[in-house]
Amino acid sequence: MNQPLILQCPAKLNLTLEVLSRKSNGMHEISSHFQLIDLFDQVTIQKTDNQFSSVKTNALVNIDNENNIAFKAIEALSKLMNRDISCDIFIEKNIPMGGGLGGGSSNAAAVLIGINTLFALKLNIDELMRIGSKIGADVPFFIFGRTALAKGIGDKLEETKCESKKFLVIAPNIHSSTKDMFLKWDSLNEQMMLRSIPKNENSFLRIFLEQKPEVREIYEELSEITPLRLSGTGSTFFCTYNEEVEIEKTLKKIPTKWRHFFCEPLQCSPLLKYIK
């Protein structure tokens, strides 16, 4: 019987995120510092004799099969290799969805890497990154698998040292649509309504807080205790710390319906051990 391949795929934080411009094809030029953290989804991939592949998760919303970016990864590899690749995939979600932590992109990267290993496709990292870029803007980064400075649409990556401090990651459990947030940025940019954004402030912070007044109130209260940063296009915030005593006041103010995680920075992804 075929043994399943079990992969741990990490989340990321945007330590910085600046939108520079909108390209003619609708994509956006960005500058960002991508930081890997030890918050993981688990992806299990197993070959199947069935004619069709399946993608299932433990999520409460329907992101199975065609609704999952990981399914696009299977289709992309099948098309590239001109062969039917049939496998069953189960994704145990732990990374908050729609939180700007890259969980879906990390899952897709894990599927590309896992299938490449399981089916002995012998694709190298550059080939996998090119395939990943057609699936999602952040997928190449998770295949690259190292904390990095990102340019272009997030596909021009340069490894850099990771943060030395720990992270308190705060998730309001609100889905923030990346597409909608970029459309809002485009609209405000065209109307010349984007005020000067301080250096190192996420380009989406003010837009997100204006869109989510129920989050803004708590964000402002927490920010009086410790500086918070937004990851991606939201909705997850984070701060750094050395010892837990530094964030005791912040922990007491986090709403009970929100999630929070104590995370360590990662220089490299555990997925890299499957790429030769």
Mean pLDDT of 156-172: 97
User: Is the predicted pLDDT of residue 241 greater than 80, yes or no?
Assistant: yes
What is the tens place of the pLDDT at every residue in 88-114?
999 999 999 999 999 999 999 999 999
Q: What is the pLDDT of residue 53?
A: 95
Question: Any bridge partners for residue 149, and if so which?
Answer: 33, 158
| % of the chain exceeding 90 in pLDDT | 89
CB 209 within 8 A of CB 201: no
User: Is the predicted pLDDT of residue 60 greater than 90, yes or no?
Assistant: no
Mean pLDDT of 26-50: 95
Specify the higher pLDDT residue, 193 or 119.
119
Q: Return the axis-axis angle of helices 69-81 and 125-133, rounded to nearest 10°.
A: 120
Mean pLDDT of 61-70: 94
Residues 229-264, buried b or exposed e (16+ Cβ, 10 A)? bbbbbbbbbbbbbeeeeebeebeeebeeebebbebe
* Alpha carbons 137 and 139: distance in angstroms, whole number: 6
Residues listed for the chain: 276
Catalytic residue among 47, 138, 155, 166: 138
What is the tens place of the pLDDT at every residue in 173-224?
999 999 999 999 999 988 877 777 777 899 999 999 999 999 999 999 999 9
* Alpha carbons 162 and 267: distance in angstroms, whole number: 6
1: pLDDT confidence band, cut at 50, 70 and 90?
Answer: low
What is the tens place of the pLDDT at every residue in 3-37?
999 999 999 999 999 999 998 888 899 999 999 99
Q: Is the backbone peptide bond immediately before 235 cis, with ω within 30 degrees of 0?
A: yes
| % of the chain exceeding 70 in pLDDT | 100
Mean pLDDT of 51-77: 95
Q: Return the axis-axis angle of helices 125-133 and 103-118, rounded to nearest 10°.
A: 140
Catalytic residue among 12, 47, 72, 93: 12
* Alpha carbons 35 and 15: distance in angstroms, whole number: 7
Q: Is 186 a catalytic residue?
A: no
Say which amino acid occupies 271: L
Q: Is 273 a catalytic residue?
A: no
Mean pLDDT of 153-174: 95
* Alpha carbons 100 and 111: distance in angstroms, whole number: 20
* Alpha carbons 99 and 203: distance in angstroms, whole number: 15
